[in-house]
Amino acid sequence: MYVVIGANGFLGSYIIKNILKMTDEKILAVCLPPAMQDTDRVRWITGDISERSFVEYLNKNYLDGNNNNKIVYLAAYHHPDLVEKNPRLAWDINVTTLSYFINSVEHLDRFFYPSTDSVYGESRDGYRFKEDDRLTPVNRYGHHKCAAERLVTEYGGNVVRYPFLIAPSLAPGRKHFYDTIVSTLLAGEPIEMFSDSLRSALDFDTAAQLMIRLAERKEPVPQIINVCGDEALSKYDIGLRIADNLGVSRNLVKPISIENAEGIFEAKRAASTLMDNSLLKRTLGLEKVRLKL
């Protein structure tokens, strides 16, 4: 059985979709309200993972004594600006809650924790970070993720480091940045996107599929692995691709520089954070990994 913590978020929705598509496993989908309707393979449980009584409930009723669970832990306080504004709340969710959860579950044989390229810091001169590179995050969110990764690996879990992820939202009632781009362009309105900030971007669907392939492997999986695309893409590059797919004018996508980002973000951002995915390719026997939109 898969246990997906934070199952109704952007990535969680794609994880659920692809577990159903790629495996015969049942799913315990844990989320904050509202939940989806149960099916023959998906059981939805609503509750706050930061409440210890709820974690105890999960352990007692679903997790204790079961060493066949594959746990995907997606619960996090994500947005770097919000982390900067609410550091104690963010630490409680990103580190304290995670620590309590993994310390309370008896079997963590297959525990996958999605992390972020934010742990690496600034990529200079096109350098692509490898999993064993020194971590030098530039904001509090990245530091929280570093601490969380250390907890997970000390307990024997697996860390999947993702880049910027984008795709249509499958989360009910929640729009992703992709959906905002589409609605803006279809309305014939311009949208500004950074042209000089590069990421090894990936779509949610491919990101979810690759994590599930790792979880389903019988052979050992590297404890920390970059799951990212081959290309160095700016958000402007991605905007142009979306415009092409929609059949609208590329001129609606306006390039802007990350150097002019003052006032847009509160937390500091690395201008570019590129990752090396050669370990992923060796592990799964892949020739290429590309963003699909």
Q: Is 111 helix (H, G, I), strand (E, B) or coil?
A: strand
State pLDDT tens for residues 22-38: 999 999 999 998 878 99
Task: Give the pairing of strands 128-129 and 158-162.
Answer: unpaired
Q: Is pLDDT at 68 greater than 90 in this prediction?
A: no
Confidence of residue 262 (pLDDT cuts 50, 70, 90): low
In contact, 229 and 275? CB cutoff 8 Å: no
Instruction: Fill in the amino acid letter for 123.
Output: S
Q: Rounded CA gap, 17 and 205, in Å?
A: 9
**Integer Cα distance of 228 and 231 in angstroms:** 9
Q: Which two tokens stand for residue 91?
A: 């630490």
Which residue pairs from 52-59 have beta carbons closer than 8 angstroms and sit at least 24 positions apart in sequence?
Answer: 52/100, 55/100, 55/101, 55/104, 56/104, 58/30, 59/104, 59/105, 59/106
Q: What is the pTM of this model?
A: 0.95
Percent of the chain's residues with pLDDT above 90: 85
The DSSP code sequence of 162-188 is E--EE----STT---HHHHHHHHHHTT
Residue 116 has pLDDT above 80, yes or no: yes
289: pLDDT confidence band, cut at 50, 70 and 90? Answer: very high
Other C-beta atoms within 10 Å of 121: how many? Answer: 18
pLDDT at 36: 86
Q: What is the pLDDT of residues 195-226, one digit of tens each?
A: 999 999 999 999 999 999 999 999 999 999 99
Longest CA–CA span in the chain (Å) reads 58
Domain regions of the chain by residue span: 2-167+198-231+270-284
Q: What CATH number should be reported for the domain whose range is 2-167+198-231+270-284?
A: 3.40.50.720
For 38, how many CA atoms within 13 A lie in the half-sphere containing its CB?
Answer: 8
Place 188 in a pLDDT band, splitting at 50, 70 and 90: very high
